[in-house]
Structure 1
């Protein structure tokens, strides 16, 4: 068992006697792992995003759920030491969202104008084993259930339902090839997800613009910071370079920059990165159809250390192309550029986005329907991004490979449940260690 000692710090260790499939043999200081990642951002950005890193420390210390959401590199670091899934014998190299958890899904208007429930975050997208992502989503189900006061037996049932639904839909896609056009809309879902889709259908561009802008400029708002003239020029140049990389490229007139701001306080895992809002002209010269583009700094994705040569895609191109491959009818304006030397993913700040929040999971019926819908999304994502889409780098059917690897659905469910329960316990201990470090005044970035 590998052991890391950092000065006189207490090292968190999981017993090697844990049951099969559970976390075992870990030896690391979780605070140091998180510090290393965040300190690297501090250095990379020359302290310019330290205000965001400070907010990040507060967010990570707020709950075990928030800590898990914001520390995907710690999870993948741990997977490198933990025993692999017994089912990772085939289909081990597929496209992953990279940071699967319940709140990285939500409703939005699809590229064809129909509202849908979909994956919302591909910042950590990479190629690797489907079991990495299945396990991470299962851990999120356990932690979200605990945060909502859900009992252990019900949480176990939720995880089993999630795994069984994932396996069932992988088998369906293997048998039909329907993954290319499949998605969740008002016609094939219900409860919370259906409510989110209905809310997205009722949203209006005017409401988003009224929230953030007035008279063709951004409003005064503490979350929107003015930028130096040099940064403004870099942002304008980035939008000019970006517009042809979008899935549906913008014309030069649609991409005229009207105003720019640095956006602060958004996200959890991405706190500490540069994030900018750019107001562009839109289809006409009327302010009513202006668009807000979000430019988010991209860094190496969390799963990369486990498969460093899995793809050569870098910068904002990696998450932009991953979004197109993993989600049907995804944001047509997703693309990439660089702001000076900072690589960015560019997406529209959607007027129609309605994120899933774990606090809305209030009944067993809602829990059951939601974990089924999330399982379907994950299965469809893994099944889509393969030989059927040019450029994925996969020369085979991902759904066929995964379906062949799942030799026992009950066995996969039992293994995943044991892992998720044990690792959720570890996340809670790690979060408590982080809170103690913060309280003690330890440097966290």
Structure 2
């Protein structure tokens, strides 16, 4: 959609930009941006990059972003990082010692899955925005997600305060632990050391079967398995199929546990519609491949997801030279213990993609599952531990990260006061959640006024 028509309509729209509360309780002047324009620029860039081919998903994205402040926040990480560039930095930021971050943490970017060693675990699930930057950017983003999810779930202000304080204290405690014993390389959350909700998700993952995913998405055509007719799975032209086949052949040796040529034979290809929130508008293809044997019961579905510059890059443009699908694939290995061994990278034509297995065993956390204060408390503690472990892992102890120092030591030394970090993080998260709510109102107003949003 053209920029001129968008601007003409926007002139008549009501734009709401809330003042942001920052540490110390002072009201910050309104951020110098129009949130609708920032989101438009990102989504219009995808519209242009993909020649309109993903506009169906961009349209779905506008509906999801307009549905609630929570969904709006989930889908607008570039706006968050743009805003961080204008807002005061944390007093606890680690000077001169950035770490690897996932870039888009929030409560629903966690879940249970089968680990590379066939043990189910609860872990961080999304590294599309992974980059090197301040650990405080990520801790603050998770805290904002807790405030917005808590408000959506009807939690009181005092309960939300407790939740954010718990996140920060748990994170700090485990950073200190990893600094003391260097156990972060092997640590993870499994059935034996996690809370009720995440244990339930792990149990569900243990009960999942590959046959269930294959039955949901595929069918037999004679003796060959193919994708089912499904409104979420779009048939692709022959040229795209050929490009995906070539991409799978190039990808297979980039995986940590490479597929053999026979395991990577492509049986069918579809474009996946409607998946995700922040990634809607990017190409996402499914490739059905042979699997371990020539039978049909162990076929695998690979997901090839278009990658663009990660949101945190604007704040730290030169901290790594990794690009395309290689960046999130390697970050997943570094940040998550026993992560998907099939994660790798390739290009579909000129489109860089992250390749992972569409796991039959994945069970994502939903904020709808957070039904009691006890569940909130346990889940927030688990998320704090996951963040601490991720930030501690990807450092000098793993070849290729580019981090030449101990990340956990740097962070631990920076946290000079846990109560101080709690106060600062709580003030930021509450104020920015108010900002998000105002921005969401502006987006809804623009959408209802007919403003082109991509």
- Give the TM interval when normalised to the shorter protein: over 0.9
Residue 264 of structure 1 pairs with residue 273 of structure 2: yes
Distance apart, 1:144 and its partner CA? 0.4
Q: Structure 2: how far apart are the matches of 1:66 and 1:124? A: 17
**Counterpart among 89, 93, 96 of residue 88 in structure 1:** 93
In structure 2, the partner of 1:71 is 76
Map 1:94-113; keep pairs closer than 5 Å: 94-113=99-118
- Secondary structure of the structure 2 residue equivalent to 1:288: coil
- 8 Å CA contact 2:191, 2:199 repeated in 1: yes
In structure 1, the partner of 2:376 is 367
- 8 Å CA contact 1:14, 1:23 repeated in 2: no
- Unaligned 5+ segments in structure 1 are 1-5
**Counterpart among 333, 357, 363 of residue 324 in structure 1:** 333
Residue 393 of structure 1 pairs with residue 402 of structure 2: yes
- 8 Å CA contact 1:139, 1:424 repeated in 2: yes
In structure 2, the partner of 1:194 is 199
**Counterpart among 161, 168, 172 of residue 177 in structure 2:** 172
Please list the CA deviations of residues 55-109 of structure 1 after superposition, one character each: whole Å capped at 9, or x if unmatched: 0000100110000000000000000000000001447400000001000000000
In structure 2, the partner of 1:210 is 215
The aligned length equals 440
Distance apart, 1:300 and its partner CA? 0.3
Q: Structure 1: how far apart are the matches of 2:218 and 2:13? A: 48
In structure 2, the partner of 1:3 is none
- Secondary structure of the structure 1 residue equivalent to 2:58: helix
Q: Structure 2: how far apart are the matches of 1:311 and 1:89? A: 17
Q: Point out the more displaced range, 19-28 or 363-372.
A: 19-28
Map 1:290-369; keep pairs closer than 5 Å: 290-369=299-378
Q: Structure 2: how far apart are the matches of 1:190 and 1:18? A: 33
Q: Structure 2: how far apart are the matches of 1:291 and 1:23? A: 53
In structure 2, the partner of 1:45 is 50
Q: Structure 2: how far apart are the matches of 1:92 and 1:255? A: 40
Q: Structure 1: how far apart are the matches of 2:14 and 2:32? A: 10
Distance apart, 1:24 and its partner CA? 2.5
Q: Structure 2: how far apart are the matches of 1:340 and 1:252? A: 20
Please list the CA deviations of residues 1-24 of structure 1 after superposition, one character each: whole Å capped at 9, or x if unmatched: xxxxx8566565554885537772
Q: CA 1:440–1:348 in structure 2 vs 1: closer, same or farther (change >3 Å)?
A: same
Map 1:418-429; keep pairs closer than 5 Å: 418-429=427-438
- 8 Å CA contact 1:165, 1:372 repeated in 2: yes
In structure 1, the partner of 2:60 is 55
Q: Structure 2: how far apart are the matches of 1:11 and 1:53? A: 21
Please list the CA deviations of residues 192-244 of structure 1 after superposition, one character each: whole Å capped at 9, or x if unmatched: 10000000000000001000001100000000000000000000000000000
TM-score normalized by structure 2? 0.95
Q: Which runs of 4+ in 1 moved over 6 A?
A: none
- 8 Å CA contact 2:13, 2:449 repeated in 1: no
Q: Structure 1: how far apart are the matches of 2:21 and 2:196? A: 41
- Unaligned 5+ segments in structure 2 are 1-9
In structure 1, the partner of 2:24 is 20
- Secondary structure of the structure 2 residue equivalent to 1:303: helix
Q: Structure 2: how far apart are the matches of 1:7 and 1:398? A: 47
Map 1:139-288; keep pairs closer than 5 Å: 139-215=144-220, 216-288=225-297
Q: CA 1:115–1:158 in structure 2 vs 1: closer, same or farther (change >3 Å)?
A: same
Q: Which has the higher contact order (CA 8 A, sep 6+)?
A: 2
Please list the CA deviations of residues 330-384 of structure 1 after superposition, one character each: whole Å capped at 9, or x if unmatched: 0000000000000000000000000000000000110000000000000000000
Distance apart, 1:271 and its partner CA? 0.4
- Secondary structure of the structure 2 residue equivalent to 1:434: helix
- 8 Å CA contact 1:9, 1:29 repeated in 2: no
- Secondary structure of the structure 1 residue equivalent to 2:399: coil
